[in-house]
């Protein structure tokens, strides 16, 4: 069996690797600068994927785009709900905001109630294809809950490293799925390092964000869905909450892949939204740097509480290339955005997702978007994930 991946390419030195000769990052450039892009043979993809065939497809998950995903053996795909999430055009909310072409991409309906399922569904396939006997991840909570579900489904032992401060609902998910959980007495960034060492030592497949090149492939699929849902028109602006920066990089990759196979001819501007108490990418972007300074972080939005974003190179590149920007929002703005969204549209999201919506409100107030523009806000996780924030 085969897939359409042509090679993996280092984001910094541009060296190309065969998919079977490298697992995580470019050895010459290291774990942060040496992240890899998955590059497809677009001629092959085009033979297997057409708009007409998609219009007839009754696959109601992101696997409808299989030829554009790095899967060699589809038998390893787990039958869990992931992707093909709704794109709401909510008339009442849009009237209140005076943004008639605003769309909400609601990813709270995935199997573990967050966007992370898009990545985990791909990671589990790669772990099984490569013959690993265990899979590990460090996470602020959602990635852990997500990979625990897919590992449980596949019957693969799962090893999780999370900060002690993880919200209770996310911890409950880990316990329910039977993951082996290590509570780390420190921030997410410490959990990440520990997971790197332990995976290497024990021979587990590592689902850590950014160093695993296949996660962004799963995370790109909302871009494919948005374009299909908008009848193969790219939106004008997309708001994305940013912690490590893998979602925003993945989404940019999705628009680029679609462009490369001729499905769209324009690109959106991407706006990366961070919490003010955890905004190293906002600062790096403002200062025109292509890497970030590690900072101590504190925000109510635990899913984007990241002091040293692991996908910083790709995230900064995505925002630069798209002609977009990074903004920060305060915890107060996040909470009022969460409330407004729930009260006016019926969509209840966790604080990290609300941050993206708060970012839209902030940019709108600065008059940088025009009312007729097609705007998408990526809502990355369910409100039931962290009820402490609302309480």
Residue number, 143 or 156, with CB nearest to ligand PLP: 143
Measuring CA to CA, which residue among 238, 208, 243 is closest to residue 224? Answer: 238
The residue from 114, 206, 305, 322 that contacts ligand PLP (CB under 6 A) is 114
Strands 5-10 and 36-40: antiparallel
Number of H helices, E strands in the chain: 16, 13
Partner from Zn ion, ligand PLP, none binding residue 29, C-beta < 5-8 Å depending on class: Zn ion
Answer yes or no: are the C-beta atoms of 114 and 140 closer than 8 Å: no
Which CB atom, from 345 or from 380, has the smaller least distance to ligand PLP?
A: 380
Maximal C-alpha separation, the chain = 55
Q: How far apart are CA 348 and CA 361, in angstroms?
A: 17
Please report how close the Cβ of residue 241 comes to ligand PLP at its closest, in angstroms. 4
Residue numbers 154-183 binding Zn ion by CB under 5 A: none
21 DSSP assignment: G
In the set 5, 8, 10, 149, which binds Zn ion (CB under 5 A)? 10
Tokens 């085009």, residue located: 46
Query: The sheet that has 237-241: what strands, in order across it?
Result: 87-88, 102-106, 375-379, 237-241, 269-275, 325-329
Q: Tell me the window of 152-160, 182-190, 323-331, 346-354 that interacts with ligand PLP (CB under 6 A).
A: 346-354
Q: Which does 34 bind (CB under 5 to 8 A by kind): ligand PLP, Zn ion, none?
A: Zn ion
- C-alpha distances in Å from residue 145, one per residue of 36, 88, 168, 339: 25, 26, 11, 25
What mask, x for binding ligand PLP by CB under 6 A, covers residues 304 to 323?
x-------------------
15-54: contacts with Zn ion (CB under 5 A): 26, 28-29, 34
Residues 128-187 that bind ligand PLP (CB under 6 A): 142
CA separation for the pair 22, 26 (Å, rounded): 8
Give the nearest distance from C-beta 16 to Zn ion in angstroms. 10
Residue 14 or 180: which CB sits closer to Zn ion? 14
Helix (H, G, I), strand (E, B) or coil at 329: strand
How many residues contact Zn ion, by CB under 5 A? Answer: 7
Find the shortest distance in angstroms from Cβ 301 to ligand PLP.
8
Q: Which of 352, 354, 360, 377 binds ligand PLP (CB under 6 A)?
A: 352
User: Which residues ranging from 266 to 305 are in contact with ligand PLP (CB under 6 A)?
Assistant: 303-304
**Angstrom distance (rounded) from CA 209 to CA 321:** 22
Restricted to residues 46-105, the positions that interact with ligand PLP (CB under 6 A) are: none
In the stretch 198-237, what mask flags binding to ligand PLP with x, by CB under 6 A?
A: -----------x----------------------------
CA distance readout (Å), 47 to 4, 93, 226, 265:
11, 41, 22, 19
Footprint on this chain of ligand PLP (rule: CB under 6 A):
114-116, 142, 209, 241-247, 303-304, 350, 352-353, 380-381
């Amino acid at each position: 069996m085969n897939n359409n991946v042509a090679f993996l390419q280092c984001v910094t030195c541009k060296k190309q690797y065969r998919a079977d000769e490298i697992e995580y990052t470019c050895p010459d450039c290291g774990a942060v600068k040496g992240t890899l892009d998955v590059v497809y043979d677009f001629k092959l993809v085009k033979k297997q994927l057409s708009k007409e065939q998609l219009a007839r497809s009754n696959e109601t998950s992101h696997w409808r785009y299989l030829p554009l995903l790095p899967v060699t053996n589809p038998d390893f795909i787990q039958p869990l709900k992931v992707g093909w999430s709704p794109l709401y055009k909510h008339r009442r909310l849009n009237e209140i905001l005076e943004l008639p072409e605003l769309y909400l991409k609601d990813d709270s309906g995935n199997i573990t109630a967050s966007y992370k399922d898009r990545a985990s569904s791909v990671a589990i396939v790669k772990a099984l294809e490569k013959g690993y006997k265990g899979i590990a991840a460090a996470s602020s909570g959602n990635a852990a809950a997500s990979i625990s579900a897919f590992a449980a489904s596949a019957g693969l032992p799962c090893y999780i490293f999370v900060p002690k401060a993880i919200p209770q609902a996310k911890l409950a998910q880990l316990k329910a799925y039977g993951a082996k959980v290590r509570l780390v007495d420190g921030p997410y960034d410490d959990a990440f390092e520990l997971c790197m060492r332990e995976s290497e030592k024990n021979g587990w497949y590592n689902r850590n964000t950014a160093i695993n090149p296949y996660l962004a492939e799963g995370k790109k699929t909302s871009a494919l869905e948005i374009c299909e849902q908008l009848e193969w028109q790219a939106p004008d602006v997309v708001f994305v909450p940013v912690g490590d920066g893998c979602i925003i990089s993945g989404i940019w990759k999705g628009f680029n892949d679609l462009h490369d196979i001729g499905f769209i001819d324009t690109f959106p501007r991407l706006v990366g939204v961070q919490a003010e108490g955890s905004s190293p990418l906002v600062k790096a972007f403002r200062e025109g740097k292509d890497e970030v300074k590690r900072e101590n972080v504190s925000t109510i939005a635990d899913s984007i509480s990241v002091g040293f974003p692991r996908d910083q190179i790709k995230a900064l590149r995505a925002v630069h290339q798209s002609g977009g920007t990074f903004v920060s929002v305060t915890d107060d703005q996040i909470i009022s955005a969460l409330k407004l969204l729930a009260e006016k549209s019926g969509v209840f999201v966790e604080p990290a997702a609300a941050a993206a919506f708060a970012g839209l409100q902030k940019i709108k107030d600065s008059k940088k978007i025009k009312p007729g523009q097609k705007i998408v806000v990526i809502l990355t996780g369910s409100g039931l994930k962290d009820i402490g924030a609302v309480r």
